[in-house]
C-alpha cells in the first residue's frame, strides 16, 4: 500500500504513474504485437479485422469497467481515511460484481458479435475473420475482467507496481504464443486471438494466487465473500457517470470506425496501424491522470485540498512536456512507425496522415485527461461524462462525417483534435469553479460518523 498524503506531490505522482505506464505499455503490446504479426504474416484484411474488433470489445466491457471505477475511488478514499474494514468490504463487493458481470458479457458478446459487426459496416472480406477473432476474445472475458479488477484494487491502495510484474509475464507469453500459433502453426487470426486469451488467463491467475498468499486485503475465503449493497450503490453512484462516459466513448469509436469502414479495407488497415501508435502516445497522459485520481482521492479523504491543487499543477506540467516530445517524434517518424505493420504503401500513407494531423495536438488531449483525472478522484464523475458527450458526440462524430465528404479520411482525423479542445474547455472550466472539493464518498463518511455519534449519545 502507498500513502500519497505525505511527501512531494510531483515526485509521488510521477513515480506512482511510472509502473502503471510501463504496465500499460506492456498491455498495449497485446494488441500491437497481434496487429504487427497479423499484418505482416496474414495480410491487410486480417489487420483490418483486428482493428475493427477492438471498438466492439470495448463497447461490451465499457459499462462494467466504468462502474468498477467507483470502487477504485472508494477504496482510495477509505484508505486515505484509514477505514480498513470498509476497504476490505469494497474489495469483496467489487470482485463479486465483476465475476458475474464477466459471465453476462461473455454470453452477450457471443450472441451479438455478428450483428454488431454488420451494424458498423464491416466489409464482407473482413467479416469472417473479425467474427472469429471477437468470439475467441469474448470466450476469455472473465480473465480480462479479473486482471483489471485486481489492478484497479491495488491502484486504489496506492500499489501500482505489483500489477506490472504480472503483466510483463503475460506479455512474454502472448508474444511467444503469437509467433508460435500464427507464424509456425499457421492458425491465422485464430492463433492471434487464442494467444491473447491464454496470456490474459496466465496474468490473472498468477496475480490472484500470489496476492491471496501475500496481501492482507485478499485474505478472505472465496465462499464467504460479502456483496455489500450499500457500498455497491455508493460505488455505482460514483462510477455510473464514468460508465456512461465509457459507453459513449465506445459507441463513438464504433461510429468513427463505421465512417472509416466506408472508405474500404485499406483505410481500415491504415487506421488500425495508426491507432496502435496513437494508443502508445496517449499512455503517459492517461497514466498520469490515473495516478492523479488516486492521489486526489486519498488526499481529499485526508482533507488535504491544498495538496490536491499542487498535485494537479505538477501533473499538468509533466504531461505537457511529455506530450510535446511525443508530438515531435510521431510527426517526424510517422511513416517509419506505420511501415512496421505493413508494406502496403497506401495503408502507410493513410496511417501517416493520421499521425500528422492528430499527433500535432496531443497536448490538448493530455490536459483534458489530467483535469478529468482530478475530477474522478474527487468523485465528481459527471463532468468528465459531459465533457465526453460534448467532445465526442456534439463535435467529433458530426465533424468526421461532414469533413470526410470533401476531405476524405483526412476530414475524419481533423475532427479528433477539434473535439479535444471543446472537451478540455468544459473540464478545466469546472475545475476552476472549485465545486469538486466536496466528494460523494466523504459526504457518506461524514454521515456515518454522525450516525455513530448520535447512536452513542442515546
Structural domains counted in the chain: 1
Residue 2 counted as domain residue: no
Residue 415 counted as domain residue: yes
3-state secondary structure the chain: CCCCCCCCHHHHHHHHHHHHHHHHHHHHHHHHHHHHHHHHHCCHHHHHHHHHHHHHHHHHHHHHHHHHHHHHHHHHHHHHCCCHHHHHHHHHHHHHHHHHHHHHHHHHHHHHHHHHHHHCCCCCCCHHHHHHHHHHHHHCHHHHHHHHHHHHHHHHCCCCCHHHHHHHHHHHHHHHHHHHHHHHCCCCHHHHHHHHHHHHHHHHHHHHHHHHHHCHHHCCCHHHCCCCHHHHHHHHHHHHHHHHHHHHHHHHHHHHHHHHHCCCHHHHHHHHHHHHHHHHHHHHHHHHHHHHHHHHHHHHHCCCHHHHHHHHHHHHHHHHHHHHHHHHHHHHHHHHHHHCCCCCHHHHHHHHHHHHHHHCCHHHHHHHHHHHHHHHHCCCCHHHHHHHHHHHHHHHHHHHHHHHHHHCHHHHHHHHHHHHHHHHHHHHHHHHHCHHHCCHHHHHHHHHHHHHHHHHHC
Residue 454 counted as domain residue: no
Domain range spanning residue 173? 9-448
Give tens-digit pLDDT for 396-455.
999 999 999 999 999 999 999 999 999 999 999 999 988 888 755 554 444 443 343 333
> In this predicted structure, what is the pLDDT of residue 455?
38
Residue 4 counted as domain residue: no
Percentage of the chain lying above the pLDDT 70 cut = 94
Residue 455 counted as domain residue: no
Residue 370 counted as domain residue: yes
Give tens-digit pLDDT for 88-104.
888 888 888 888 988 99
CB atoms within 10 A of CB 124: 6
Give tens-digit pLDDT for 108-164.
999 999 999 998 888 888 899 999 999 999 999 999 888 878 877 777 777 767 777
Model-level pTM? 0.73
Give tens-digit pLDDT for 163-206.
778 778 888 888 899 899 998 999 989 998 999 899 889 888 88
Is 390 in contact with 426 (CB distance < 8 Å)?
yes
Residue 456 counted as domain residue: no
Residue 252 counted as domain residue: yes
Interatomic CA distance for residues 283 and 32, integer angstroms: 14
Interatomic CA distance for residues 119 and 261, integer angstroms: 11
Amino acid at each position: 500500500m502507498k500513502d500519497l498524503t505525505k511527501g512531494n506531490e510531483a515526485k509521488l505522482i510521477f513515480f506512482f504513474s511510472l509502473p502503471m505506464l510501463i504496465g500499460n505499455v506492456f498491455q498495449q503490446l497485446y494488441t500491437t504485437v497481434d496487429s504487427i504479426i497479423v499484418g505482416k504474416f496474414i495480410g491487410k484484411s486480417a489487420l483490418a479485422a483486428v482493428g475493427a474488433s477492438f471498438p466492439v470489445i470495448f463497447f461490451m466491457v465499457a459499462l462494467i469497467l466504468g462502474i468498477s471505477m467507483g470502487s477504485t475511488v472508494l477504496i482510495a478514499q477509505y484508505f486515505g481515511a484509514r477505514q480498513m474494514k470498509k476497504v476490505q468490504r469494497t474489495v469483496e463487493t467489487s470482485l463479486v460484481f465483476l465475476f458475474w458481470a464477466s459471465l453476462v458479457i461473455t454470453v452477450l458478446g457471443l450472441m451479438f458479435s455478428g450483428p454488431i459487426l454488420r451494424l458498423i459496416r464491416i466489409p464482407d472480406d473482413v467479416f469472417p475473420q473479425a467474427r472469429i477473432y471477437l468470439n475467441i476474445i469474448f470466450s476469455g472475458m472473465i480473465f480480462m475482467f479479473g486482471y483489471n479488477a485486481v489492478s484497479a484494487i491495488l491502484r486504489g491502495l496506492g500499489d501500482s507496481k505489483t500489477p506490472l510484474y504480472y503483466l510483463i509475464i503475460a506479455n512474454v507469453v502472448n508474444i511467444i504464443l503469437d509467433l508460435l500459433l500464427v507464424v509456425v502453426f499457421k492458425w491465422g487470426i485464430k492463433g492471434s486471438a487464442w494467444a491473447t486469451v491464454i496470456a490474459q488467463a496466465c496474468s490473472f491467475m498468477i496475480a490472484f494466487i500470489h496476492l491471496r498468499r501475500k496481501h492482507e486485503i485478499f485474505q478472505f475465503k472465496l465462499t464467504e465473500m460479502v456483496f455489500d449493497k450499500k457500498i455497491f450503490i455508493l460505488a455505482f453512484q460514483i462510477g455510473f457517470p464514468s460508465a456512461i462516459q465509457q459507453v459513449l466513448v465506445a459507441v463513438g469509436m464504433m461510429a468513427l470506425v463505421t465512417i472509416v469502414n466506408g472508405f474500404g479495407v485499406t483505410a481500415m488497415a491504415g487506421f488500425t496501424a495508426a491507432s496502435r501508435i496513437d494508443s502508445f502516445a496517449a499512455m503517459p497522459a492517461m497514466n498520469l491522470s490515473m495516478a492523479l485520481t488516486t492521489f486526489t482521492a486519498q488526499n481529499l479523504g485526508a482533507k488535504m485540498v491544498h495538496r490536491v491543487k499542487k498535485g494537479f499543477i505538477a501533473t499538468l506540467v509533466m504531461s505537457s512536456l511529455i506530450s510535446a516530445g511525443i508530438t515531435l517524434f510521431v510527426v517526424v517518424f510517422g511513416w517509419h512507425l506505420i511501415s512496421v505493420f505493413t508494406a502496403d504503401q497506401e495503408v502507410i500513407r493513410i496511417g501517416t496522415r493520421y499521425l500528422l494531423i492528430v499527433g500535432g495536438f496531443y497536448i490538448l488531449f493530455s490536459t483534458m485527461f489530467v483535469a478529468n483525472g482530478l475530477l474522478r478522484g474527487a468523485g465528481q464523475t459527471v463532468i468528465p461524462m459531459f465533457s465526453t458527450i460534448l467532445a465526442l458526440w456534439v463535435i467529433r462524430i458530426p465533424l468526421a462525417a461532414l469533413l470526410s465528404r470533401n476531405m476524405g479520411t483526412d476530414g475524419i482525423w481533423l475532427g479528433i483534435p477539434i473535439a479535444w479542445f471543446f472537451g478540455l474547455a468544459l473540464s478545466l472550466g469546472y475545475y476552476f469553479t472549485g465545486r469538486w472539493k466536496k466528494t460523494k464518498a466523504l459526504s457518506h463518511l461524514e454521515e456515518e460518523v454522525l450516525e455513530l455519534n448520535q447512536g452513542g449519545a442515546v
